[in-house]
Structure 1
Amino acid sequence: MTIPSPILQALDLAHSSWRPVLLQGLEAMAAANPAYLPALAADDYLPTEMRLFAAFSLPMAQVRYVLVGEGPYPRAESATGVCFMDGAVRGLWSEEADGGLSKPVNKATSLRNFMKMLLVADGQLAQDNTAGAALAAVASRARAGGAIATLAEMQARLTEQGFLLLNASLVFRAHVAPAIDARAWLPFFETVVAALAPQAPKLVLWGKIAEQLNKLPTVKDMPQIVAEHPYNLSFIANKDMHALFGPMNLLKP
């Protein structure tokens, strides 16, 4: 079964340990829906710059967690191929004396709420007071060296913990509902999860679209934590997320 060459070329950004599995996953997609990948290859989609499989840069043997969001950010500069890692974000903290998180972080709602969740889990913020003066005080300490400074450092910390940062749909298309694209990628995810099963990684599923992966038998049998998507304000106070991420100290310098 032929996979379109633009899709195959995107495999170059994945770690070599993943290539046989990703090819098998693409073949499973093609078998389930022969028209999907050719149509995708001829369409405009995010992420650009051949970053479709950029999340698979972590060697397969090092995966301890599979974090699944919904889909790429709907902005070309933001969609990196890595779940909730917004390419438009550099610094995490505002440079203003009375500022909190940086403007690009505040624009990326999921990332903003993830940051606040980490700060609540770390005891730096109260879950009912995550803005204004309280957040400005946290940012002031961070700028003085009390926390990591950039999103790149955050991504590196997550990678060190063994996170594979995926989305339920690896693409965003303005004219296609995310749930439809996510449905087409289900055979791909089934292949990926089956390949990881001997390592027994923990699945972290964010949002209703990611939760649909539980329809797959291989996913249903894996240890997992299900939470609302981080674009919901309630995510900040999610105790399961506090228990998972708090001990990792992702913001520590």
Structure 2
Amino acid sequence: MPSNSWEKILQEAYGELEEAYRSFLEKDSGYIPNRENYLNAFKTLPREKVKYILFGQDPYPRKESASGYAFIDAKVKEIFSDTGLSKEVNRATSLRNFIKMALVARGDLILEDLSQDAISAIDKTPLISSVKELRINFEKNGVLLLNTALIFTDKKSSTKHVKAWRPFVQSLLLSLEAQQPKLILFGTHAKELQKHLPLENFETIELEHPYNHTFISNPKALTLFGPMRLLDK
């Protein structure tokens, strides 16, 4: 269950979904994350501690990866290996680029050398080792990790789900308006929120999706995430 601080807000937001879509969510098991997990982001970060909302796109299209948190791949356990980044992180392009950006922001890497050799030479003693710890560090900084669509069925239905969840997201934002969280928009789906939802009362920070290599050197990303010290123990 989400924490009590979210209960009323989520009930109202859920009530804004179309009745047929609510019925689908309540009866269908053909989506990921499942019913027990798609609201996970609200279970671990109390409402009053939210300073940012990071809007990803939709959940990872793999059951073992979709965690109920934007950008947190549950399949990936360890961040580093003896040779640099772990194999799992290297396969997860967005996460790989994000970790490299965070290492550049810490001063552990330079943009001219983002190689495995350079990463393997970093002293990992003061650094976190798992993706779960990364999620916890996001939340320590008040970042709610929310996708624009909270579930995934198949690629061709992604746009349908994003559209279906918009009333939920709009209600949620309205409830948080007085709190003034900053909105971090990753990629095209998240930026679409600006076209369809009244966000003029929120400060928005638009970034390319970390899938793009340019994210590593984006000054806005380095300025935003650097002070969060997301890789620090």
Indicate whether 1:131 and 2:119 are aligned.
no
| Displacement after TM superposition at 1:29 (Å) | 1.4
Equivalent-residue separation in structure 1 for 2:10 and 2:29 (angstroms): 21
With normalisation by structure 1, the TM-score equals 0.86
Q: Is 2:104 the partner of 1:110?
A: no
Distance 1:55 1:249 in 2: 20
Residue 234 of structure 1 pairs with residue 214 of structure 2: yes
SS at match of 1:234: helix
Structure 2 CA distance for partners of 1:45 and 1:217, relative to 1, 3 Å = closer
Would you say 1:50 and 2:50 are equivalent positions? no
2:134 maps to what in 1?
154
Q: Distance in 2 between matches of 1:236 and 1:106?
A: 14
**Matches of 1:159 and 1:189, distance apart in 2:** 19
Task: Please state how far the C-alpha of 1:91 moved relative to its aligned partner.
Answer: 1.4
Which moves more between the two structures, 100-109 or 234-243? Answer: 100-109
Map of 1:9 onto structure 2 = none
| Structure 2, unaligned runs of 5 or more | none
TM-score normalized by the length of structure 2: 0.93
Count of residues in correspondence between the two structures: 231
Give the 5 Å matches for 1:28-177. Answer: 28-30=16-18, 34-40=19-25, 41-48=27-34, 50-57=36-43, 58-94=45-81, 96=82, 99-138=83-122, 141-142=123-124, 145-174=125-154, 176-177=156-157
Give distance in 2, aligned partners of 1:28 and 1:129: 49
Conserved? CA contact 1:190–1:216, under 8 Å: no
Gap change, CA 1:110 and 1:66, over 3 Å in 2:
same
* Aligned residue number for residue 8 of structure 1: none
Aligned counterparts of 2:51 and 2:65: Cα–Cα separation in 1: 26
Report the equivalent of 1:245. 225
- Partner Cα separation in structure 1 for residue 197 and residue 77 of structure 2: 39
Counterpart check, 1:179 vs 2:166: no
Q: 1:215 deviation in Å? A: 2.5
Matched letter for residue 37 of structure 2: R
Preserved contact between residue 22 and residue 192 of structure 1 (Cα < 8 Å): yes
Identity of aligned residues (%): 39
Q: 1:206 aligns with which of 171, 186, 209?
A: 186
Matched, 1:219 2:199: yes
Distance 1:46 1:69 in 2: 15
- Alpha-carbon distance between aligned partners in 1 of 2:95 and 2:55, rounded to the nearest angstrom: 14
Q: Deviations over 1:30-83 (max 9, x none)?
A: 2xxx32222344250111361010011211111001001001111111111011
Displacement, 1:128? Answer: 3.6
Spell out, residue by residue over 1:142-172, the C-alpha distance to the aligned partner (whole angstroms, 9 max, x if none).
1xx1311111211111111111000011011
Question: What is the CA–CA distance in structure 2 between the aligned matches of 1:49 and 1:217, rounded to whole Å?
Answer: 25
Paired residue secondary structure (1:165): strand
